[in-house]
Structure 1
Amino acid sequence: MRSYTITEIWDIPIRINTSLLLFLPILAWLVGSGQQIELYAGFIEGFTGVGFDLARLRAGSTPWLIGIAAAVGLFVSVTVHELGHSWVALRYGLEIESITLWILGGIAALTTFPKEWDREFWIAIAGPVSSLLVAAVCYAGVLLLPGSFQVSRFVVGWLAITNVVLAGFNLLPAFPMDGGRVLRALLARSYPYGTATRIAARIGVGFAFLFAIVGVLNFQIILLLLAFFIYGAATTESKTVLLDELLDGIIVGDIMTGDPATVAASTTVEDFGTRLLRDRRPVHLVTDDDGTPVGIVTLDDLKDAPRGDHSSMTVREIMRDVPRIDATADAFDTLVQLQGMGGIDAIVERDGTLAGVLSEADYAHAMTIQRGFRSGVGG
């Protein structure tokens, strides 16, 4: 689903996902329905000691007003939660690409996560602490608002309880939720970062299965969605950390193809297909008539070539204009950067001149060698 930028705070784009836009009216209806108002009023009274006139809360369009205000308040609460993470990250000099709010909460997208355990700990814990601060402010609001402000008292009381629940739920050690990142940070005090990540990720996967079982037994769609999210995010981050370990200390120049096969941009697609059969090199550097590199063409590009007369269609029509990177760039950072652009292929330069090409096959080859080397050293 698409996300839309609605504002910026501290130069961080705040985005709202379509899933949340669809969920907010449902939440407003759930909170504002008559039976739910009575239920929540009981919770708030037990939490704060403040009673409510249920007849006034149920009168006319008041339930809808309560539901809308509560939904907007939750939206703001989640934003504050993510800004808590972001504020601490900014204090450490880290960059935040964006904050995205969606049906399962919010995501503060950091360009890089710190490997220092104390930095990750404080960044992770800042979100729940922010939620507890919001809860404390709302709790004080319930006590300070006059009794005639029944709707305001109810909404603020509901937000106080909701933010406490939000903080507590996020502190569950279900990596990559906040509690899972706190767990990894604490583990990283005694174990290597990769080992700490794998332990936290396994615990996160365990919680994902637990949420899935509870979600199925109780027909809770949100829990099922959360289970899928935690499972996918935990396994993905575990793999990412493994890649980082395998590529540690390696630069692009170490893994690139230094003598790439070349093909002129004016070559026909038919002739290029014949050449691929002959030299069996899936990645070719495309050059202009004067030998200047202009792009890359691969076997996949050939497969995706438009139907037509391939004897007249040229390689220029199916090639891709790819990024140019320096041979001294860190291999893992480059991989993350290229994946963010939608691909892994790139032209590699050294001191402004062509040095080679970089492709997914180069990364796969490098990681195979690193795995074999490490298993050999360990064996």
Structure 2
Amino acid sequence: MSHHKIFALVLGLMLVFSTTAASARDDEAKARGEKLGRVLFKTSCSPEAQKQFERALAMLHSFFFPETIKTFSSIPETDPSCAIAYWGIAISQRPNPLVPPFSAEVLKRGLDAVEKGEAIGAKTQRERDWLAALKMFYKDYETVDQDTRTKNYEKAMEALVKKYPDDVEARIFYALALNETFDHKSMANLEKAIRILEPLDRKYPDHPGITHYLIHSYDFPPIAPRGVPAANKYAKIAPSAPHALHMPSHIYSMVGMWEASIAANQRTIVASNEYAAKNNLDGIYPALPHSWDFMQYAYLQLGQEGKAKALAEEVGTVTKIFAPRYPTECGAAATQARYPLERQDWKGAAAL
């Protein structure tokens, strides 16, 4: 047999196995009734652990806390030598990396996970470098401030991209790191993130992280209209993640698409409540107040004061939030405060 025929045969077999593996992953997702998008991170772990890692990573890209931690944490049970799983456990400690600061307990758990991964020893230099890059975010958290550690992490991700220019996930997480170091003074970091993500979006249109971080990068009035295409498709890419259902409303609110914002957050509320009930959360789903806030604002812009009032009253009955943090408590408070403030009801505002 000629070399050309052998090459063609090998290539054909590779395509068959690749298609079969992808089909198997799709079948498993369908069996769970789950849709989270497609990711691009090849690990050195066992085939079963690889599938778990891809599922967890897709959740991570949609900030699906706390499910992401649970899913990454199950990987070592399948493959104890899968060191990169601890990168996933570590990075998942941040429910939303764009909303710091994080408690000492969270930072310690993150650092411990990175060091556990280092101790196990990843099988490839690339995986060791991923762990080392994330360590820059957690290292010396007791003495180094949040801004400095975040900038150190951004630089580490930039170096990772330079070392592995074909690593698509490295570029995606670098774009996210640029969002993390955005100082609200200059748009340079956001524009840089957009320049990274837009070409990737054209090539990988169903990747949850690319679309998600594009929305965050566009989430400012001067450039928000550019984010409408990403907003329109994100919920279709990862409808199983509540945050993916909510994120389009960031752009819709910026461009005055109030009905679309309300619809997005109504879907988020349903998904959040279903998740809380299914998983017996001790309190409401933590991202729920943020959706209330956006929906409340949209109601008021449309003059739907009856719905706005009912929502404010409903929020007032909430007694417990699962894993509360400043952003969640802020969202609940803002939902109630917007009702009198947007209507210039100063007496009502003073009574809060």
TM, length-normalised to structure 2 = 0.34
Higher strand share goes to which structure?
1
Which structure is larger by alpha-carbon Rg, 1 or 2?
A: 1
Higher helix share goes to which structure?
2
TM, length-normalised to structure 1 = 0.32
